Each structure stands twice: as structure tokens, then as C-alpha cells.
Amino acid sequence: MYRFLLTPRWLSGTALAVAAVAVCVWLGTWQLGRFEDKVSSHQEISKTVDDAGSARPLGELLGADRPQVTTDTVGRAVTVSGTFDQEHQLLVPNRVLDGKQGYYVLTPLRTGDGRTVAVVRGWAPGAPAEGAAAAAPAGEVTVTGRLQAGESSGSNGAVAGGLPAGQLGTINQAALVNKLSYDGWYDGWVSADAAPAGLTPVPTVQPQGGDGLTLRAFQNLGYTLEWFVFGGFVVFMWFRLVRREAEAEQDRALGLDPVLE
């Protein structure tokens, strides 16, 4: 009854179905792998954020061989020594902490090697106002805090521009260079563990899309299910066509073929 499967038409059709199922399984597996990679990235970043480790000098984490803040270094405890540039303190608006709107107080710290690091000394509630934040301490200081990734416009309340003088919309190297033309900036920024009176220390901020579990990650999971469903549909249709052809063969063997007039 199933000898028709050995005919050229059915052999080619079966080969095409097998190839289609193989492609669906491969694409589904690939999408699943991408989702698992993003879940792994999320777990690694969460572990880093939860366990800052012992404080290390900033220059050791952001050296010449690895100058950028990565998922391995974001949230790490660091120390950095230098002198605050009191005349160029910046206020960073549209920052939310514990559900409240406020702003960061950012003060550049000039280090002994001639480079500059952006230090967020804390968060204050309300709208930024000139002179509202406490002045940075004078003289040589050592700051202990957590290393943060540079922001992108649209993330964590960051904006591209259009702010009054003395305010910064986005904390990243490009924006800082536009405001203050120092020779060299460290990548990212440091949120100080100890904040002066009136300010609250800023916890580690996840980089944009950086914890892995974004909408795009779950899109990968959705694509995985879609490809597996497509593969299953191909198998279902093949079996349905085989069954229908087998029933037709059986009817012909019993002389039950419909008569065409």
C-alpha cells in the first residue's frame, strides 16, 4: 500500500520535506542559542553587580590593554585618587532613584597620570538648581566606588542635549569631551560609595540593554518556537499527504476509484 513512496515524485517530495525540517531545526536551535547567550550574559552581569569584589585601582581595570568598561568590569569596586575640578561640577537631570525623580552630581576628578574620571558623588531629589549641590572637597582625595558603563541617549533618562549650562544630559566620553576639553577621560564613570550630606549614593546602573534579558532576547525565544512549529507543521503535512495517498491507493485496489464523466 505504501509502495508509492518509492516513486520519483514521492522520493523528491520526501527529500524536500526532510530538508525543510532540517533547516527549521537548525534555525530554531540557532535562535535558542542566541537566547541562552543573552541569559548567560544577564547572569554574569547580575553576579558582578551583586558582588563588587575588593576595591582595585581604576587604572588596573581600565588599562591600555582594555580601556573600555565591559560586562566583566561594570559594577566592580574601584579606587581612584586625584583632585576634584570644583569649577566644572555638572548636574545630570532626569535620574530616578527609588521611584523618585532627581539628578546626579558629577564632578571631574583629575588623576596623577593626567587623565580625568567622571565621579558621580551622589543623587539628589527634585530638579537641578545651580549651587544646590555641595561643593567637592579640595586637595588630594581618594574615591572608592563602583565602575559604571557610559550611557547612551535614551537610556536611564539620558538625553542628547538642549540643557542649560552646567548640566549634562548623557554620561559618556563624547559628551564629557564636548563639555570639558581635557586630554584624556577614563571610559565610563564612577559612582562614589560615600556621598556628602544631602546626596544619596548611586547604585550600579545596568548598561543599556546590558543585562541581556531585553525584549530582543525574548524575540529570539519567540523565533525559536516559530521555527520548531514550522518544522512540526512540515512533518504533519507530510504524514497527512501520505495517509491520503495510501487511502487513495487502497480505494483503487478495491475498485472504488471515482468514475469521471
15-69 pLDDT, tens digit each: 888 898 899 999 888 888 877 777 766 666 555 555 556 778 888 888 777 888 8
Any residues with CB less than 8 A from the CB of 166 and at least 6 apart, and which?
A: 89, 90, 91, 130
Q: Residue 167 pLDDT more than 50?
A: yes
Q: Residue 169 pLDDT more than 60?
A: yes
> Model-level pTM?
0.61
Q: Residue 208 pLDDT more than 60?
A: no
Encode pLDDT of 123-142 as tens digits: 999 888 765 677 888 899 99
